[in-house]
């Protein structure tokens, strides 16, 4: 599993919102085939079999990063952990 590029992450955020490739393409001003390619790359990067699994993995990874950042900030600024 590798980290997503900034564009792949942006596309996966929209997949997580339930958008189709066509809707994502319209939102980003890209060709639908470009979005399809980015989704396929994201699935490979996340070792996911389908969009739903990729969305779950992407969301879980985002939450893990947020939790880790919050924990680090609390330790840095003397918050209660």
Crossing angle of helices 21-28/6-16, nearest 10°? 130
Mind listing the pLDDT tens digit for each residue in 26-49? 999 999 999 999 999 999 999 999
At residue 59, φ and ψ (nearest 5 deg) are: -65, -45
Rg (CA), the chain: 15
Q: Which residues of the chain have pLDDT under 70?
A: 62-81
Residue 36 sits at the vertex; the CA angle it makes with 43 and 51, to the nearest 5 degrees, is 40
Range of the domain at 13: 6-76
Residue 23 lies in a domain: yes
Q: Distance (Å, rounded) from C-alpha 14 to C-alpha 9?
A: 9
Domain contains 58: yes
In a domain, 46, yes or no: yes
Residue 79: the pLDDT is 55
CATH of the domain at 50: 1.10.10.10
Domains of the chain: total: 1
Q: pLDDT value at position 16?
A: 93
Asked if residue 81 belongs to a domain, the reply is no
């Amino acid at each position: 599993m590798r980290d997503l590029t900034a564009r792949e992450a942006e596309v996966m955020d929209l997949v997580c919102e339930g958008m189709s490739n066509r809707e994502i393409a319209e939102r980003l001003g890209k060709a639908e085939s470009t979005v399809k390619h980015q989704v396929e790359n994201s699935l490979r990067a996340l070792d996911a079999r389908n969009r739903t699994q990729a969305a779950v993995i992407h969301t879980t990874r985002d939450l893990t990063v947020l939790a880790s950042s919050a924990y680090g900030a609390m330790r840095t600024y003397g918050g209660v952990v």
